């Protein structure tokens, strides 16, 4: 029987070694999984940080784009004003060029110029522009604009009063 006991002890020792090996492998797998989980968590934290930074950049870009839009709108309004002034000046230059050099017809040309300015003021008022906007567009002082507007309304009042 001593032989059986030796075999039994040897078998038990081998079995203990196998169990120890399995425990070591399982321990390694557990710690590797824990490390992988920690790596995954670190990667997720980095991804979340990058997402927050991208959102902040997006907000900054949107703000900058809004400022650019406002600037473009102001420039377009200024350009439109200057274009209107240029058209008025162009018309005035055409009228001056077509005037005879001698004095004949000068008052008639001035009357046409005044009538054209009145018509333009009426058109701009019809478009809903304020007095200040009309002054800016036509390059007229506010007093002159008011005078022209009063002159525009005078014939209507005088014709109604005489009729």
What local confidence, expressed as pLDDT, does residue 118 receive? 83
- Domain layout of the chain by residue ranges: 1-85, 99-163
What is the rounded average pLDDT for all residues in the chain? 81
Instruction: Render pLDDT for 19-29 as a digit per residue (tens, 0 to 9).
Output: 999 999 988 88
What local confidence, expressed as pLDDT, does residue 107 receive? 60
- The DSSP output letter for 128 is T
Residue of 149, 138, 125, 145 lying closest to 84 (CA atoms): 138
What local confidence, expressed as pLDDT, does residue 126 receive? 86
Instruction: Render pLDDT for 39-87 as a digit per residue (tens, 0 to 9).
Output: 888 888 899 999 999 999 999 999 999 999 999 999 999 999 999 999 9
Would the pLDDT of 99 be above 70?
A: no
Dihedral, CA of residue 125, residue 128, residue 131 and residue 134, to nearest 10: -70
Q: Which residues contact 135 (CB under 8 A, 6 or more apart)?
A: 141, 142, 145
Contact 132, 142 (CB under 8 A): yes
């Amino acid at each position: 029987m001593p032989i059986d006991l030796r075999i039994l002890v040897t078998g038990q020792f081998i079995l203990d070694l196998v169990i120890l090996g399995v425990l070591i492998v399982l321990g390694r797998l557990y710690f590797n999984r824990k490390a992988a989980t920690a790596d995954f968590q670190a990667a997720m934290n980095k991804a979340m940080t990058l997402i927050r930074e991208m959102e902040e950049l997006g907000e900054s870009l949107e703000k900058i784009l809004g400022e650019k839009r406002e600037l473009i709108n102001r420039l377009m309004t200024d350009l439109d004003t200057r274009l209107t002034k240029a058209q008025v000046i162009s018309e005035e230059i055409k009228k001056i060029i077509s005037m005879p050099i001698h004095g004949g017809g000068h008052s008639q040309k001035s009357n046409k110029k005044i009538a054209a300015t009145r018509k333009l003021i009426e058109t701009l008022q019809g478009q809903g522009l304020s007095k200040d906007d009309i002054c800016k567009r036509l390059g007229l002082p506010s007093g002159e604009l008011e005078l022209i507007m009063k002159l525009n309304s005078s014939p209507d009042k005088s014709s109604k009063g005489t009729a």
